[in-house]
Chains A and B, each alone.
Chain A
Amino acid sequence: MSAGAQTPHKKAADLPLSVIIATDCGSTTTKAILIEKQGDTFRQTFRGEAPTTVEAPFEDVTRGVLNAIAEVEELSGRKILDGEKIVTPAGAGGNSKAGVDIYVSTSSAGGGLQMMVAGAVQSMTGESAQRCALGAGAIVMDVLAVNDGRLPHEKIERIRSLRPDMILLSGGTDGGTVTHVVEMAEYISAAKPRPRLGMTYSLPLIYAGNTQARDRVTEILGKKTALVVTDNIRPTLERENLAPARNKIHDLFLEHVMAQAPGYKKLISWAGAPIVPTPAAVGFIMEALAKRDKINLIGVDIGGATTDVFSVYGGVFNRTVSANLGMSYSVSNVLAEAGLANIMRWVPFDLDEQTLRNRIKNKMIRPTTIPQTLDELQIEQAIAREALRLALIHHKSLATGLKGVQQERTISDIFEQKASGGSLIDMLKLDLIVGSGGILSHAPRRIQSMLMMVDAYEPLGFTTLSVDSIFMMPHLGVLSTVNEKAATDVFVHDCLVYLGTCIAPIGQGRDGEKCAEYQIVFGGNREPESGTLTFGELRVMALGDNERAQVTMKPAKQVDLGEGKGVPVTREARGGAVGLMLDGRGRPLQLPADVKTRVAALSRWHQAVGLYPR
């Protein structure tokens, strides 16, 4: 958990730029985008993509980068490459259609950054270390702690078998426990851990724990690892200080991990800004958006193998990655974790278990196939709802206040005592959801993206929803480290597609009973609309992009819209590709248990909002 600690390499002043080429080297595809200044505004103009070439037979990431840029060259008519070099600056040789001012890139190729973290107490320094590594864009392979329930030899076996790219060791507040930190260092030393890539270099290990244990830790691990000592991530129980360790993770990622990956030395030499792990770059842009609009937001990137969730609440940034929740490689794991019944509850027809299980497994073994029939699309979107839901549950469990902090209580707290370390994610205080990833960005109808997120997240009260048009948040995140205006301009104009606002009253009632009365005042000459939203009802009203409406909701006496039961609420709602969604299905959302009734309810809702063609 940290505020404003996301852009370690940010330069003091924005670089003067007019043409930018940016790439994201993903595990399967390398995506390039061209950004050009048009008047005062930066716009994304062309894009190209090519298969990533980290693996054999190429084993050189720059091949894929050159191919993706070559596609941009072809489409834009701009000469960007001179053989295997990027032509800089823009306008080189007096040709206005030649060159770019800067090349920037992110990377998650070769499995991204994989880390193991260790702390003294699991729920305290262990969690802080986990948040630190996740915020830096890593996949956390395991969290080890003195009290993690494993016997010493099990911990040592685990450390040895993991082969991470890097280890983050924390533990103890400054002046606190030394013994437990040294104990963890001894286990790491006994395991003789080896890095995942490269046989010849020492495993990078960052020590960010109790300052008084530094000498001992250096004595134990100094010769066995590439040890880097930095500030304690938990100097006191009440304070987390993740930025120094995060910056070190980014530095070591470049110096050690990426330098071992095929072709990256060359790629680093081309780039005008440090290459950052893809999820870290997405974090930069999420944080910048929340800061600019002074809002709380949740961002999600649902990929084939993993689902990343980002949140910014009250300026506090958190990221989690659910490493095995995804729509292709990990699709079967969504079934394993969510259970068949939870997936089936979103499918608007009945299907026998064996057929569904076989279909999901067939998607897992042939992950690049696409749904050809409507039934198949509906099943995939049902699975996506569960992957999104589970990833948010995971995120809520880690995006918490600090645990172990003493709280001052007064007599008034007697009836509402909460333990320290509660989740920061309050759906009622959420302003914006940003969805990204193929299933959300490329859904045939935008309403499908919106309803998938509404069903999975069950937003409360007024919440705006949006999607990333084409996956360019990583590019913009790394660009924001050198020119924030360019990144923001493109993000607002070309990246983010607003879907609209969901208005969801909190409460339960029988179908057809009054949930809330509404009055909607639109801009321009459009007539105001008013009416009653009943329980069990889902409806959508058109409200275009850049349009806003003043919405007054008068909830029934047992229903809450954020100001208390029965208290009317008036707020401005933003439109978008879908418009205003009035969700009277109740919160928490409860679907009928009986198959026939549930299928009927789903079909009714889907028809009401025009979710599918029939």
Chain B
Amino acid sequence: MVKQGDRVKADTVIAQTELPGKVHSVNVANLLGIAPDEVRDYLIRKEGEPVQKDAVIAENTPFIKFLKTEVRSPIHGTIDTISTVTGQVLLREPPRRLELLAYIDGAVADMLPQQGVTIETSCSLVQGIFGVGGETWGELQMGVASPEEALTPDKLTSGMKGKIVVGGSFLSSDTLAGAREIGVAALIVGGIHDKDLRALLGYDLGVAITGTEKIGITVILTEGFGSIPMAAKTFALLSKHQGQKASVSGATQIRAGVIRPEIIIPADGTVTQSRAAAERGGIQVGDHVRIIRDPLFGRIGQVSALPPDLRQIETESHVRVLEVGFPDKTRAIIPRANVEILEG
């Protein structure tokens, strides 16, 4: 539907296909009381022929008309296959059209025959840690004044309809319900309680593979579960782009081949040469890190030392650790597996 160099908007259809229709089976042999290998003799439609819903597809011709039995099509579609072993006729619904939208504003940079296209845009990108709900887009609007502030129901307004609203540390179930009622496109917050996620989804999420939920809203967590202030850098970046259009996706897959939710804020839509991010080695002294496990979960600090030897921690495990210094001048020894480097 598009070609290399074309400019696209988030809602531009870039590709479409027809998915084969649903298949329904009708056991004609059973319904007519005949042997399966006699089915073809009683059918009045052939394989590949179109049928309307309730149209007769097979019938018998008894001496007494009263005893006549007709088999009608349960759907509008075509006769797909006729089996003389099972006596069943498979009917197929018309194909369904599937349209693929661009999702972000940009330009078609590359064509992948039979697969898709690459769309390039100059943008700001924020990666979340977990999300639910699929791709959507809208104007960014800050719902709170600081990253420590929770997004409470009283901060929601009808003007947030169709927008991507940024909260701070926490989102309660009341706020979630209110946002869905208003028609907010997406919410971005530091954290929520697991019980509120369960209430939103209607089930307890077992494995973090998300993005296909039909919940009418996309929710992206930047930090995790619980009440956790959004990282100041993330909050500042989103604040800077208030009023701009952003594309977001809650799709998360935490398995081999990790997918994290994303917030893409196109700058002006012009195609630029892609710039490789600076290569970085392992963790280094001076790096800003977030602690991602209790007891200091959510705290942000700076690596102050990287002891090379294994250290015994409280659990008696011997692990590689690092020392983190916090803004309040306190320090803590943390397993290296329990921190993540804050990029950017």
- A145: shortest Cβ distance to chain B, in Å? 15
Give the interface residue-count category, chain B: 35 or more
Interface status of B24 (Cβ within 8 A of chain A)? yes
- For A56, what are the chain B residues with a Cβ–Cβ distance below 8 Å? 257
SS class, residues of chain B in contact with chain A: loop
Contact of A377 among B254, B315, B335 (CB under 8 A): B315
Give a binary string over B185-212; 1 marks a CB under 8 Å from any A CB, 0 the rest. Answer: 0000000011101000001111110000
Bound CA span A573–B81, Å = 65
- For A54, what are the chain B residues with a Cβ–Cβ distance below 8 Å? 256
Q: A157-B22, A373-B315, A445-B316 are in contact. Are A332 and B204 (CB under 8 A)?
A: yes
Interface status of A16 (Cβ within 8 A of chain B)? no
Interface status of A359 (Cβ within 8 A of chain B)? yes
Bound CA span A52–B255, Å = 13
Closest residue of A by beta carbon distance from B258: A55
Is the pair B130, A357 in contact by a Cβ cutoff of 8 Å?
no
Closest residue of A by beta carbon distance from B318: A444
Bound CA span A199–B224, Å = 37
Q: A190-B23, A372-B334, A374-B315 are in contact. Are A364 and B204 (CB under 8 A)?
A: no
Interface status of A179 (Cβ within 8 A of chain B)? yes
Give the interface residue-count category, chain A: 35 or more
The 4 closest A-B pairs by CB, nearest first: A333-B206, A444-B316, A152-B25, A357-B194
Q: A354-B193, A365-B129, A372-B313 are in contact. Are A182 and B23 (CB under 8 A)?
A: no
Is the pair A152, B194 in contact by a Cβ cutoff of 8 Å?
no
17 A-B contacts, Cβ less than 8 Å apart?
A52-B256, A152-B24, A160-B20, A179-B36, A179-B86, A186-B81, A324-B206, A357-B225, A358-B225, A360-B194, A361-B205, A366-B224, A369-B337, A370-B293, A371-B293, A373-B314, A613-B314
Closest residue of B by beta carbon distance from A367: B254
In the complex, which of the residues A152, A157, A361, A372 has the most CB atoms of chain B within 10 Å of its own CB atom? A372
Is the pair B23, A153 in contact by a Cβ cutoff of 8 Å?
yes
Closest residue of A by beta carbon distance from B19: A160
Contact of B208 among A152, A186, A329, A357 (CB under 8 A): A329
Contact of B315 among A191, A365, A372 (CB under 8 A): A372
Interface status of B330 (Cβ within 8 A of chain A)? no
Is the pair B297, A109 in contact by a Cβ cutoff of 8 Å?
no
Is the pair A372, B256 in contact by a Cβ cutoff of 8 Å?
no
Is the pair B224, A186 in contact by a Cβ cutoff of 8 Å?
no
Is the pair A361, B315 in contact by a Cβ cutoff of 8 Å?
no
Contact of A358 among B80, B83, B206, B226 (CB under 8 A): B226
Interface status of A297 (Cβ within 8 A of chain B)? no
Contact of B194 among A182, A361, A377 (CB under 8 A): A361
- For B340, what are the chain A residues with a Cβ–Cβ distance below 8 Å? 366
Which A residues between 151 and 192 are near B, CB-CB below 8 angstroms?
152-153, 156-157, 160, 178-179, 182-183, 186, 189-192
Interface status of B17 (Cβ within 8 A of chain A)? no
Give a binary string over B261-274; 1 marks a CB under 8 Å from any A CB, 0 the rest. Answer: 00000000000000
Is the pair B130, A358 in contact by a Cβ cutoff of 8 Å?
no
- A189: shortest Cβ distance to chain B, in Å? 7
